[in-house]
Amino acid sequence: MEPGSITQKLFEVYLRLRPPYPGAPQTEPILHVEDPHDKVHPSHITLNPPADRRRAIERFGFTQVFEEDASQLDVFHCTDTSSLIEGVLAPQGGDGTDAVVATLGVTGSGKTHTILGSRNQRGLAQLAIDVIFRSIIDNMVESAQSPTLDSLQACDASEATLVTAPYFLDTMNSDQGATYRGSGSRSSTPMLVRNKPTTLSSSQTTTPSKMRPKAQQMPGSFPDSDVTSPKSHSPDVSDFIVPCDPAAEYVVIVSMYEVHNDRIYDLLTPASKSPNNKDYRRRPLLYKPTELSPDRKVVAGLRKVVCTDAREALLVLEAGLQERRVAGTGSNNVSSRSHGFFCFEVKKRSFGWKNNSWSGSKLTVVDLAGSERARDAKTQGATLVEAGKINESLMYLGQCLQSQSEISSGKQPNIVPYRQCKLTEILFSNSFPSAAGSYSHVPRRNPQRGIMIVTADPLGDFNATSQILRYSALARDVTVPRAPSFSVNMLAPSPTHSTQHTRPFGNAGFGSMRSHFSPVNATEERVTMEIAALEIARMSEEIEQLRDEIEVQSEARIAAEAHLLSTEDRMIDMEAAVREECAIEFEQRLAMELARFKASMQIEKERHEEHWDRKVDILERGLESGFEEGFDKENVLVENLTQELERLRRENTILKRELSSRSPSKRKPLEEREDFSMPAGPSSKHDNLAVSTLGRKLERIKISDGSRAGVGPGSPKKIRRLVARRWEDSDDA
């Protein structure tokens, strides 16, 4: 089945009329309860427009109408809240069925009174807590401490943090434990001590502030949760018990949250100081499917308190109500500025299975904020914006309820448009069976059962009341107004004017008319009067219709403005989220790029080092090889020179011999001769000089040889060869 399509009524709708305010002026009520005829309880009312309004008379049908004198207990019993509790406790085994009890109405019409009661009377929430705990008292778990707490935590599908009631209350009461809202909260409606309630003025804002009075010091207007006080039992339901599963042990988990400006805030988690400014703020929570609840959305991340008796649950409820946003308006001194959701999850598991999983269902009691007209409520600033948001969400809720009644009367396709805002999503999304086949690993849950109690003030504002009734009623008839009575009066001949008819229309003066008076004229005039009267009636009708239209249009404009504001808010949120996402992505990419850059730098560095190492190697090798080469060259040179020197010496000896052999008698011995004399000094110098002298000598010899060669026969090559041979021969010799 498509989500949003229905096969049965999603909410039973009841109407509760509030008694007049003490000291309220005696005026004609706009609402009249119809005689039930053959039925026991009335179920229809008629909405009569005030005498000065020309509007249709409307008739609305509900499951039941509670008149002004109906008590809290009447409402509890007749709305069959006990059967909802029975569905939650699931006495026949299984998970049971979730239930929702909500109130809807114009501001000040008694919604909070019905749900949370007042100083002397308990509301449906307290009565339900009482009945639930009385019914399961014999099957309650022995202790909510570990390991029970751990097993409950493991089975919680809403990513919640579970704490035990004693721990929660201790934390709340400790001075440093938490930061709670004081003024501007439902602090005037707790249940412990009978101090005078705080009266809130319209100037009080709904911004959370750092304050936490101890539970015992809180001013109260709710019934006493002190079990010894008679007020704590009023009305008394002690003889009322609902059957529970005898094979199971139970525990109750309390959680509370509010929907304010289309955002969900936990009422049991203290506000924390925002880093940017000194305000104490709560973090909005998400309404989403989770791993353990893939087929159903849940408010994720709540703080839930495990309670084992009614007193603990009431104290937790009271603590959460301290956080609820309220403000004084022109219509109500303590007006709820948010939709409050108080959830009592009844968890059960089979006896003897200490580690098996917990299942169960929950009862949610909802105190909706009231619709209001800015003009009447005299709200401004933030409270006016809140009012716009409240009206917008109630308009969407109205559309859902209207579609329910239109579907059942066959006027509309089988779809409930509940995804338009958080309020309708939370109220309706569990009203439908989960899609067949999907999430086979998760047990299929029954669609929730719902009760909507519409509250109305019979002496209240006609337009606001008619609007609420129009979209909440299960059935509606419209009776077209009769012909305007004044036209009939006008048509009737006036005895005083039997002879002198006044003429309301026409340019002619009164005197001129009278001068033309005749029976024929009288008939004509009567016809004219008739036409005029009909025209007046038609125009008045038109004016009324236009007036209605204007009212509808201005309501629509307010709703559209509120929608615009919420859309703007959503866009700002989205922008912030996108910016944050971009910043995170940018930082991630930057980090990645930096890492990549560092890695490539490292690689490059290593490559460079390697390159340089290789170069140095090559250089070293080059240097080594170069040195060796140079060394070798030098050695070769020295060797060559030595050889040359040896050769020259040999040559020298030969030459000496040659010279001495030419004419030894006529010549001085070589040592005595000037050109062969050896200078004194180191042997090397002496050698060098000798070599150079020898060189010169050789040169001369060559020249002389050359001159000889030029004169004698044969080539110089031949001569040199001959000479060399001769030297070789001499060497040999």
Q: How far apart are CA 47 and CA 96, in angstroms?
A: 39
Does 43 sit near ligand ATP (CB under 6 A)? Answer: no
Residue 46 contacts residue 32 (beta carbons within 8 Å): yes
The span of 226-234, 238-246, 327-335, 721-729 binding ligand ATP (CB under 6 A) equals: 327-335
Which CB, 14 or 250, lies closer to ligand ATP? Answer: 14
Contact 98, 434 (CB under 8 A): no
CA atoms within 13 A on the CB side of 560: 6
Report the residue from 96, 108, 190, 458 that binds ligand ATP according to the rule CB under 6 A.
Answer: 108
State how far the Cα of 235 lies from the Cα of 120, in Å rounded to an integer. Answer: 9
Residue type, 593: E
The annotation places the binding site for ATP at 105-112
Nearer to ligand ATP, 81 or 148 (CB): 81
Instruction: Tell me the closest approach of the beta carbon of residue 572 to ligand ATP, in angstroms.
Output: 28
Of the candidates 418, 417, 421, 403, the one whose C-alpha atom is nearest the C-alpha of residue 562 is 421
* C-beta atoms surrounding 146 within 10 Å: 11
The reply on whether position 109 binds ligand ATP by CB under 6 A is: yes
Cα–Cα distance for residue pair 366/427, rounded to 1 Å? 9
Q: Which is nearer to ligand ATP, 38 or 69 (CB)?
A: 69
Segment 591 to 650, residues that bind ligand ATP, using CB under 6 A? none
Report cis status (omega within 30 of 0) of the bond before 243: no
**What character string, x for contact with ligand ATP (CB under 6 A) and - otherwise, covers 448-487?**
-------x--------------------------------
Write down the least CB distance from residue 208 to ligand ATP, Å: 19
One symbol per residue from 281 to 300: x for binding ligand ATP (CB under 6 A), - otherwise; what is it? --------------------
From the CB of 240, what's the least distance to ligand ATP, in Å?
Answer: 21
Q: Are 111 and 105 in contact (CB under 8 A)?
A: yes
Burial group, residue 386, by CB count within 10 angstroms (0-12, 13-18, 19+): buried
- Count CB neighbours of 559 within 10 A: 18
Binding-site residues sit at 105-112
Of 301 and 320, CB closest to ligand ATP = 320
Place of tokens 């229309």: 505
Q: Map the footprint of ligand ATP across residues 12-41, applying CB under 6 A.
A: 18-19
The amino acid sitting at 441 is H
**Which residue lies nearer to ligand ATP by CB, 429 or 455?**
455
Judged by CB under 6 A, which stretch of 43-51, 102-110, 175-183, 622-630 contacts ligand ATP? 102-110
Query: Long-range pairs for 433-438 at CB < 8 Å and ≥24 separation?
Result: 433/1, 434/295, 434/296, 435/1, 435/3, 435/295, 436/1, 438/295
Residue 456 · residue 15 · CB < 8 Å:
yes
- Report, in Å, the least distance between residue 555 CB and ligand ATP: 17
Binding pattern for the stretch 205-244 against ligand ATP, x by CB under 6 A and - elsewhere: ----------------------------------------
CB 544 within 8 A of CB 54: yes
Work out which of 105, 190, 450, 458 binds ligand ATP, going by CB under 6 A. Answer: 105
Number of residues in contact with ligand ATP under rule CB under 6 A? 18
The least CB distance from residue 433 to ligand ATP, in Å, is 33
Amino acid making up residue 360: G
Cis ω before 147 (30° cut-off from 0): yes
Which of 184, 220, 223, 370 binds ligand ATP (CB under 6 A)? It is 370
Q: Which is nearer to ligand ATP, 156 or 386 (CB)?
A: 386
At its nearest, how many Å lie between ligand ATP and the CB of residue 205? 16
Residue number, 337 or 501, with CB nearest to ligand ATP:
337
Which DSSP state fits 495? Answer: G
Shortest Å, Cβ 336 to ligand ATP = 4
Please say which residue, 115 or 298, places its beta carbon nearer to ligand ATP.
Answer: 115
Min dist. Cβ of residue 496 to ligand ATP (A):
51
Question: Are the C-beta atoms of residues 217 and 188 closer than 8 Å to each other?
Answer: no
In one-letter notation, the amino acid at residue 90 is A
Q: What does residue 547 show for φ and ψ, rounded to 5 degrees?
A: -60, -45
Q: How far apart are CA 304 and CA 344, in angstroms?
A: 10
Report residue 477: phi and psi, to 5°.
-120, 145
According to CB under 6 A, which residues from 328 to 357 bind ligand ATP? 332, 334-336
DSSP line for 423-479: HHHHHHTTSSPPPTTS-TTSPPPPPPEEEEEEEE-TTS-HHHHHHHHHHH-SEEEEE
Q: What is the C-alpha to C-alpha distance for residues 364 and 341, in angstroms, rounded to an integer?
A: 7
Q: How far is the CB of 248 from ligand ATP (least distance, A)?
A: 36
Least Å distance, CB 279 to ligand ATP, is 24
Residue span binding ligand ATP (CB under 6 A) among the ranges 103-111, 138-146, 209-217, 273-281:
103-111
Distance of CA 261 to the CA centre of its chain: 13
> Which lies closer to ligand ATP via its Cβ, residue 100 or residue 394?
394
Residue with tokens 């559309």: 399
Q: Give me the 547-586 binding string for ligand ATP, x by CB under 6 A, dash otherwise.
A: ----------------------------------------
Selected binder of ligand ATP within 44, 59, 111, 445 (CB under 6 A): 111
CA-angle at 314, arms to 457 and 22, nearest 5°: 25
- Span interacting with ligand ATP, options 79-87, 100-108, 299-307, 406-414, rule CB under 6 A: 100-108
In the bound complex, what is the minimum distance in angstroms from residue 44's beta carbon to ligand ATP? 20
Shortest distance (Å) from residue 342 CB to ligand ATP:
14
Q: By CB under 6 A, which span of 105-113, 209-217, 598-606, 636-644 interacts with ligand ATP?
A: 105-113
3-state secondary structure string, 597-631? HHHHHHHHHHHHHHHHHHHHHHHHHHHHHHHHHHH
Q: Which is nearer to ligand ATP, 107 or 164 (CB)?
A: 107
CB of 74 to ligand ATP, least distance (A): 10
Q: Which is nearer to ligand ATP, 87 or 105 (CB)?
A: 105
Residue 301 makes contact with ligand ATP by CB under 6 A: no
Among 65, 82, 99, 110, binds ligand ATP (CB under 6 A): 110
List the one residue from 107, 198, 402, 431 that touches ligand ATP (CB under 6 A).
107
Which string of DSSP letters, residue by residue, matches 156-205? -TT--EEEEHHHHHHHHHSTTT-----TTBGGGS-SS--PPPPPPPTT--
Residue 540 lies near ligand ATP (rule: CB under 6 A) = no
- Comparing CB distances to ligand ATP, the nearer of 108 and 270 is 108
Contact 59, 477 (CB under 8 A): yes
Least Å distance between CB 456 and ligand ATP? 10
Residue 118 as a binder of ligand ATP (CB under 6 A): the answer is yes
- Residues engaged in binding ligand ATP (CB under 6 A): 18-19, 105, 107-113, 118, 332, 334-336, 369-370, 455
